[in-house]
Amino acid sequence: MRMPPQPLTLDGLTHGYGAGLAVDNVTLEVRGGELVALLGPSGCGKTTLLRIIGGFVTQISGSVIIGDRRVDSYPPNQREVGVVFQNYALFPHMTVAENIAYGLAARGVSKALQRERVAEMLATVQMTAFAERKPRQLSGGQQQRVALARALAVRPRILLLDEPFAALDKNLRLDLQIEIKRLQRQFGLTAILVTHDQDEAMSIADKIAVMNKGRIEQLGSPIDIYDDPSTLFVNSFIGSSNLLAGTIERLEAGTFGVRLDNGAFWPVASNRSFARGDAVFASVRPEQLTLATAEAPGRFPVNHALSLPIGGMLLHDVRETNGAKLKVAEPRVPGTSLSMGGAAWCGLAANARPSLFPRP
Amino acid sequence: MFQRTTPSDISYAVVLRLLAGLGVLILVGPVLIVLITSFTTSAALKFPPPDLSVRWYVELFDRTRSAHIHTAAGNTLWVASVATGLGTLMAVMAALSIARVNRPAARALEASFLSPLILPTLAYGLASLMLFALLGFRPSLYHLVLGHLVVISPFVFRTTLASLTQLDPSLLESSASLGASRFYTFRRITLPIIAPGVAAGAFLAFIASIDNVPVSLFLSNARTSMLPIRMWGMMESTLDVRVAAISGVLIAVILILMIVMDRLVGLTRRMGV
């Protein structure tokens, strides 16, 4: 019997000592079966938040609700929360099979049932051949699979993943990300992933909560977060972007006419409100800019310094006339060689959607 | 890779080997001399022996002629075993309660639990004798156990604390998140992981009790004689060669114990901590 996916609610969680709060009034609703990534720089409070959910840290105010239970007074061993730690935390003196059976044994499950479940979990993570090995005889990726199997063997209500891929090399990381996503779907688990790696969050999370200074700055799907960052912090943390200073010159329905400091005029759609004369930043992703040889409305003059071929893209490093650096990414036309250097005109690519932020 | 050997390389190697040789000579030499002397045929503790025999070992293991030595050895073993058992229990509990506690009180307790390692044991021996006399106790093996307990439990405390400090806290959190109670975690995670450290400490404590002189000197009497004190007495009165034979037995037993412990828990690795 499998439990239906359990929703998770964080209600006004606060934690911290002294002046700075590690977690500052965080409220988050995670639907059953969803994988939410807590993404942010180190020290943003994401790990503390995870530890509060796991019961290892007690918040000074607010609540954690798993399913229909308020678990604030529950110690970690009664929360039914599976945790995969960054260093895997496998028990070094036990075999792989004993590690996986541990949670079941702690709950007093019969030996026969333990054996059955261990075999099932070993098969699920494709580690059957390694059942009798000790953790130190396994590679990082294999240890990770065992840690996952051990956490899932007890059928937790929630799965917490604390930077689970940080110690793995890049190729293996992708394999395991797919693996974790698959298992999380298969088990219908609500999961929280803590990471500082935006690519990781983008690739496996259903939703991303971008955290900064103990608060959630934005919660949304990876695409929303990338295309429509709600704050300057989220904008600069996710992907790379160019910030162009400008002033609101014209107001139309839902569209702002922005006069950039470099002289170009861009009409930009935004659901934020600005008044005429407001100082703003227009943020554009490198792939939303394009280089041209001729002047046209919306284009501004740049000096083309350097082009780097990055896979199928060309990344141009260009300078505005005042010296400010911009990054422009364009699809590379196969077979063409690089044309380097010289003056050019930079403008918005077709379908580009710059974001506007108030400029302090 | 090709390397030229310069005169300074040679002199460095020579000096290093001489020093190492000297060290080994100073450490091992006396042991060898005692061992060889114990196999003498002569009735005098003299090196080199005129001829070799097991005469003094036969004498040593003779029930009637060496009865007082057997009593002393029995007392010593009993005191060492009981003191090590109790000391290990106490030291492990003390280490468990203050490891991972960052408060200054915990550090102060740690220092005070370790202090018998630094304080002059002779002064402690005298002090404990005065204390027991003041309380009106008559010397007994129990007092010896108490006296030894103070001196030897820091060995266990130190190795246990070191093992606990190295224990990855995420193992304990992991165990808890898998549904294990604190006691279950202790039994299946903490204890097995610190066990080698505890065993190494207990071994050191046992040895320390076996050849403890300063405390035994004050707390033992004719009725509760201890082996090292008895040996000293024999040396003073008769220059008995059985003293060398006892040393031979002690060296052999401890060597065997050490090899066993090293195989079981990696003793030499843990003695450094």
Locate the domains of chain B by residue range.
Answer: 51-271
Residues of A in contact with B175 (CB under 8 A): 91, 102, 106
Residue A97 pLDDT more than 50? Answer: yes
Average pLDDT over residues B193-208: 92
Model confidence at B270, pLDDT cuts 50, 70, 90, reads: low
CA dihedral B85, B88, B91, B93 (to 10 degrees): -90
Domain A242-358 grouped into CATH 2.40.50.140: yes
Which of A102, A149, A104, A143 is CA-nearest to residue A125?
A149
Give B56-83 pLDDT, tens digit per residue.
888 888 888 888 889 899 999 999 999 9
For chain A, which residues make up each domain, given as ranges?
Answer: 8-236, 242-358
Residue from B100, B163, B178 whose CB has the most chain A CBs within 10 Å, to mutate: B178
Proportion of chain B above pLDDT 90, given as a percent: 42
Which of A4, A38, A1, A28 is CA-nearest to residue A157?
A4
Give B150-163 pLDDT, tens digit per residue.
999 999 999 999 99
Q: Are A284 and A246 in contact (CB under 8 A)?
A: no
Q: Scanning the structure block, which residue is given the tokens 């659901």?
A: A271
Please give the CATH topology (third level) of the domain spanning B51-271: MetI-like fold (1.10.3720)
Tokens of residue B128, six digits: 């404990």
pLDDT given at position B119: 87
Average pLDDT over residues B105-111: 91
- Smallest Cα distance from A90 to chain B, Å: 7
- Smallest Cα distance from A219 to chain B, Å: 27
Please give the CATH topology (third level) of the domain spanning A8-236: Rossmann fold (3.40.50)
Give A40-94 pLDDT, tens digit per residue.
998 889 999 999 999 999 999 999 999 989 999 999 999 999 999 989 999 999 9
Whole-number average pLDDT of chain A: 89
The answer to whether the pTM exceeds 0.90 is: no
Segment among A216-220, A312-316, A337-341, B140-144 with least mean pLDDT: A337-341
pLDDT given at position B273: 41
Model confidence at A284, pLDDT cuts 50, 70, 90, reads: very high
pLDDT given at position A50: 94
Q: Are A130 and A142 in contact (CB under 8 A)?
A: yes
Residue A9 pLDDT more than 70? Answer: yes
Give A146-191 pLDDT, tens digit per residue.
999 999 999 999 999 999 888 788 878 888 888 888 888 888 899 9
pLDDT given at position A1: 45
Average pLDDT over residues A325-343: 76
Minimal Cβ distance to A77: which of B176, B188, B192: B176
Q: Scanning the structure block, which residue is given the tokens 């379908």?
A: A351
Q: Are A36 and A202 in contact (CB under 8 A)?
A: no
Residue B271 pLDDT more than 70? Answer: no
DSSP string, A234-277: HHHHSS--EEEEEEEEEEETTEEEEEETTS-EEEEE-SS---TT
pLDDT given at position A305: 79
Distance CA B227, CA B72 (A): 5
State whether B193 and A89 contact (CB < 8 Å): no
Residue B29 pLDDT more than 50? Answer: yes
Residues of A in contact with B177 (CB under 8 A): 54-55, 76-77, 79, 81-83, 151, 156, 160
pLDDT given at position B3: 66
State whether B176 and A81 contact (CB < 8 Å): no
Minimal Cβ distance to A89: which of B168, B180, B181: B168
Proportion of chain B above pLDDT 70, given as a percent: 96
- Smallest Cα distance from A38 to chain B, Å: 20
